[in-house]
Structure 1
Amino acid sequence: MKILEKAPAKINLLLDVLRKRDDGYHEVEMVMTMVDLADRLEMQELPRDTIVISSQVGFIPLDEKNLAFQAARLIKDRYAVKQGVYIHLDKNIPVAAGLAGGSSDAAATLRGLNRLWKLGISTEELMRLGAELGSDVPFCIAGGTAIARGRGEQLEQIGAPPQCWVVLAKPPINVSTVEVYSKLRADRIVRHPSLPAMTEAIGAQSFERICSLLGNVLEDVTLSLYPEVHHLKSCMQKLGADGVLMSGSGPTVFGLVAKESKAARIYNGLRGFCKEVYAVRMLT
């Protein structure tokens, strides 16, 4: 028996940091949604009690450092599953890109193994398991569009934004989320994006208002550390994207675009100097 799971990428329409917590994490408020750029996972049982992961790309870890591996081990240990599993990871989401690719893979693994082994775990319990693996995993399990609070694991589902095109571009660098957060001074953030205004704009299905309210307080840190990201954002704005923002801690920059013809022009314009460019739909 084979189980197939899709693991979509996420983008942050809004990312705000309120303060640094006593436990070392940052208190955040985010609006996250998913786009139709996805990894695909195929899972099947093995006769021996082991976890084996393969992938068509050769630059990602396939052992304990892989979040999908960690998710499989967690669900096996927590529910005393003695059956082995083989997972093939068809990787399409850029790595270390601010798009939650690893978190989405972990979420898909939890969902898939719940089905493969007929464990009957509720979505809420899967999300609690996911929170042990990473802050973005619960959202990737639930999907849709959500407000995230706490360290990102406290979710409030909201309605989807209006359908549009999303052009994603990742410069040929990797950004450390830990490094970006370590250099952020939450007490010195001058301008916070407005969560109430963004949720109101999404509720009203106002594409123009959503574009004007995009905000990410991590941008200033990442753009100062990596000029390539600043250049990419400027290029996307000059090419005419309706709203442009860095996703997560970067380095991926996304542009929201209402018309397919404009999305195609922006895609082609960016391909001239950036290898990893994607034009996809918002998952609504």
Structure 2
Amino acid sequence: MIKEKAYAKINLALDVVGKRADGYHDLKMIMMPVDLHDILEFELSDHLTLVSNVEIDDNAIIHAAQKLKALYKVQQGATIKLTKNIPIGAGLGGGSADIAATLRGLNRLWELKLKVNELEEIALSLGSDTLFCLYNKTAYVYGRGENLLYVHKPDIDEIYLVTSDISSSTKTIFENHVIKYKDKQFDRVFKLYLNEKYNVFFNRTYNALLKTTLNQYPQLKDTYKTLKKITKDVFMTGSGSTFFILSINEKRDVLEEKLKEYGIQYIKTKPKT
């Protein structure tokens, strides 16, 4: 049996540059994998089958497996067992992570002996975050996700993920987002990051989709306002609906006591090592 971990990601910075002719958007992002992960297990079989601990509406895992199987004319099948820990529709890249883990896992199971870079094209064809998830390294990601520049991991200890029952639709967010990209704004923030001026960086970083997401999902506004009362170090990942808090300016025990006081449930994780 082959086992792969599919790691979630958070966006430390995100801006929307413009809309492309192919319908995708050009983005500029700093993305970091975190230790929260799904687990995928692979065994040889005559057919392609997915067994999951949650209901999967759009079976992207099987779609990825079918594409890899057809491309390399694989005669065998596989039984894939998914243990889903990353919330769905939460801006944490869980679907993309599962696709990337499927490609890595089946490459090993079917003994295709492909190098990871040989999986890049098929990964990118299956999603915008999937190429990033294939490597699971902190990176400056630009374009629609096809360009990665690996950068150092920031000095972060604990990460508190505040998820929601609301599943945010990336398609809906981008359809309603008004692009107000300012090149120098992102460049200044990115320069702070590269120079490891993290305290200043986290004071100035932003997610350009935040306002659009809160407008499309007003229920999230209350959660965001409450979190801002607890600490200023609260951010949104992707197009929502997850907010994350970094224990930068407050001691961990003080922060956790405040979250408890306000009745905020969270998932505690760390940057992926």
Query: Which interval holds the TM-score relative to the shorter structure?
Result: over 0.9
1:256 paired with 2:246, answer yes
1:226-245 map, 5 Å:
226-240=217-231, 243-245=233-235
1:280 paired with 2:269, answer yes
Q: Which moved more, 1:227-236 or 1:136-145?
A: 227-236
SS of 2:95's partner is helix
TM-score (norm 1): 0.89
Q: Which moved more, 1:169-178 or 1:189-198?
A: 189-198
Asked if 2 retains the 8 angstrom alpha-carbon contact of 1:5 and 1:108, the reply is yes
1:30-41 map, 5 Å:
30-41=29-40
Equivalent in the alignment of 2:56: 60
Gaps of 5+ in 2: none
1:89-128 map, 5 Å:
89-128=82-121
User: CA 1:264–1:192 in 2, change beyond 3 Å: closer, same or farther?
Assistant: farther
1:82-108 Cα offsets, whole Å, 9 max, x none, are 111011100000001111101000001
Paired amino acid for 1:161: P
Equivalent in the alignment of 2:237: 247
SS of 2:69's partner is helix
User: CA 1:192–1:279 in 2, change beyond 3 Å: closer, same or farther?
Assistant: farther
Distance in 1, matches of 2:206 and 2:59, equals 30
Distance in 1, matches of 2:108 and 2:129, equals 21
Distance in 2, matches of 1:203 and 1:266, equals 32
Distance in 2, matches of 1:133 and 1:254, equals 26
Distance in 2, matches of 1:256 and 1:210, equals 13
SS of 1:173's partner is coil
TM-score (norm 2): 0.92
1:46-80 Cα offsets, whole Å, 9 max, x none, are 1x1x21111122x323xxx2221111111111111
User: CA 1:167–1:234 in 2, change beyond 3 Å: closer, same or farther?
Assistant: same
1:217 paired with 2:208, answer yes
Equivalent in the alignment of 1:144: 137
Equivalent in the alignment of 1:182: 175
What CA RMSD, in Å, does the superposition of the two structures yield over aligned residues? 1.9
Equivalent in the alignment of 1:194: 185
Distance in 2, matches of 1:75 and 1:11, equals 27
Equivalent in the alignment of 2:48: 51
Distance in 2, matches of 1:140 and 1:268, equals 32
1:72-87 map, 5 Å:
72-87=65-80
Asked if 2 retains the 8 angstrom alpha-carbon contact of 1:160 and 1:202, the reply is no
Question: How many residues matched?
Answer: 271
1:11 paired with 2:3, answer no
User: CA 1:55–1:133 in 2, change beyond 3 Å: closer, same or farther?
Assistant: same
Aligned-pair identity in percent equals 37
Gaps of 5+ in 1: none
Asked if 2 retains the 8 angstrom alpha-carbon contact of 1:97 and 1:174, the reply is yes
1:236-283 Cα offsets, whole Å, 9 max, x none, are 22112x52111111111111113432453355346x255xx2111122
User: CA 1:190–1:138 in 2, change beyond 3 Å: closer, same or farther?
Assistant: closer
